[in-house]
Amino acid sequence: MDFNVRKLASDAGIFFSRAVQFTEEKLGQAEKTELDTHFENLLARADCTKNWTEKIYRQTEVLLQPNPGARIEEFLYEKLDRKIPPRATNGEILSQFMLEAAKEFGPGTPYGSTLIKVGDCQRRLGGAEREFLQASSISFLTPLRNFLEGDWRTISRERRLLENRRLDLDACKARLKKAKAAEAKAAAVPDFQETRPRNYVLSASASALWSEELDKSEQELRVAQAEFDRQAEVTRLLLEGISSTHVNHLRCLREFAEAQAMYYNQCHKYMQELQRELGSSSGDMCPDSLEVNCEPSGSPSDLLNSPSPLDSDTLQIEEVQPPASGTRKARVLYDYTAADSSELSLRADELITVYTMPGMDSDWLIGERGNQKGKVPVTYLELLS
């Protein structure tokens, strides 16, 4: 191993000098070369792009794979450059359990046959989820990761190099300023009455030395300025490429939205087919003893839309009588506007009497205020003991 002590000492000296210079700049004790406004705007835009891209990338990973253990496993496989083994989705696992349960209970039984139908639907939903995950990873996650691990690392490296060039340039400016001040002091006319002849020679020699130092400082400043300008141009070109990155990410975002829409459309289609299958076979699953209550022609949507006993009662809300016991006082938390004649409008901080009726939705109560009566939402009330 080639261990160069001189180079190590030189690098350490440069690092220490830059650290001191950077500290003096922060304290306002040293001059700093400022970048133009357009360049500063490019830097701010690049930092903003990096920060939000990183947040979106991390949260998209959580959306596509909520299990943190699975994400860590995929990360390790990726860093080891190994192929990630296939993993069954939750829907596919549930489908497998349902099909195995159907075999135990008997495929010919109503419960077993329904397990088979629902399990097959879950299998198709799991397959659609797998396709969505793969499409999203390729079209959305991969471009974002490539930006963070590729383009942004290049930009960061060039920005650090530009900062070093700026520090070198400011150091050269400081040395030149110091050399000019020393030369002017050395070239000052000495006092003939108090200065000995020998000092004339020393003064001339010092003036020549500082003049040589001034020429050297000016040469170093020209070189440092050229390197700074060249590095600033390279960094500027990279920062202006952020606009192209936005265009690329916009295209990827649209592809992600299209894949997500296709996934949910497939899920909706599979669920509609399952509802039709369950609705057509609902009559066969009704036991003979309950045949009078079965409605083979009904569908889940019909059951959801059928009026409840509460709905029939609310049509004659004025006929509802309070129970002999069980009424309570309640304080209204927020204003509430009745949606129809069966509901009671509320004003914040007023006190009303409330009670419930058999078969009533737990989210609602009957409220009374004087001669007015109607349904009121529980979430708008504070029940008092």
pLDDT digits (tens, 9 = 90+) for 21-69: 667 666 565 677 888 899 999 999 999 999 999 999 999 999 988 878 8
Banded pLDDT at 13 (limits 50, 70, 90) = low
- Mean pLDDT over each residue of the chain, to the nearest integer: 80
Number of helices (H), then strands (E), in the chain: 11, 5
Percent of the chain at pLDDT > 70 equals 74
pLDDT value, residue 313: 43
- Single-letter code of the amino acid located at 134: Q
Residue 145: pLDDT over 80: yes
Q: Which residue has the higher pLDDT, 277 or 17?
A: 277
Residue 148: pLDDT over 90: yes
Banded pLDDT at 246 (limits 50, 70, 90) = very high
- Stretch 325-342: mean pLDDT: 87
Name the one residue in this structure whose structure tokens are 């991969």.
Answer: 142
Tokens standing for residue 289: 């003893």
Q: Which residue has the higher pLDDT, 360 or 252?
A: 252
Residue 244: CB atoms within 10 A of its CB come to 10
Distance, CA of 93 to CA of 126 (rounded, Å):
8
Distance, CA of 331 to CA of 191 (rounded, Å):
98
Residue 307: pLDDT over 50: no
Residue 106: pLDDT over 70: yes
| 134: nearest Cα among 256, 302, 17 | 256
Banded pLDDT at 289 (limits 50, 70, 90) = very low
Tokens standing for residue 266: 């497939």
Q: Which residue has the higher pLDDT, 289 or 19?
A: 19
Lowest mean pLDDT among 28-32, 34-38, 83-87, 127-131: 28-32
Q: Which residue has the higher pLDDT, 63 or 70?
A: 63
Q: Which residue has the higher pLDDT, 323 or 72?
A: 72
Burial of 310 per CB tally in 10 Å (0-12, 13-18, 19+): middle
- Stretch 126-131: mean pLDDT: 93
On whether the CB atoms of residues 140 and 64 are closer than 8 A, the answer is no
Each residue's pLDDT tens digit, 166-205: 888 888 888 888 878 877 776 665 544 445 554 544 455 6
Residue 352: pLDDT over 60: yes
pLDDT value, residue 310: 43
> Which backbone phi and psi does 331 adopt, to 5 degrees?
-100, 135
Q: Which residue has the higher pLDDT, 3 or 327?
A: 327
Residue 325: CB atoms within 10 A of its CB come to 6
pLDDT value, residue 287: 46
Q: Which residue has the higher pLDDT, 70 or 235?
A: 235
Residue 263: pLDDT over 70: yes
On whether the CB atoms of residues 380 and 362 are closer than 8 A, the answer is no
Lowest mean pLDDT among 166-175, 300-309, 344-353: 300-309
233 Cβ neighbours under 8 A, 6+ residues apart:
none
pLDDT value, residue 190: 54
- Single-letter code of the amino acid located at 97: F
Pairing of strands 381-383, 372-377: unpaired
Give 1-24 as a DSSP string: ----HHHHHHHHHHHHHHHHHHHH
| 144: nearest Cα among 293, 67, 252, 63 | 252
What angle do helix axes 37-64 and 152-186 make, rounded to 10 degrees? 150
Q: Which residue has the higher pLDDT, 84 or 27?
A: 84
- Stretch 211-227: mean pLDDT: 86
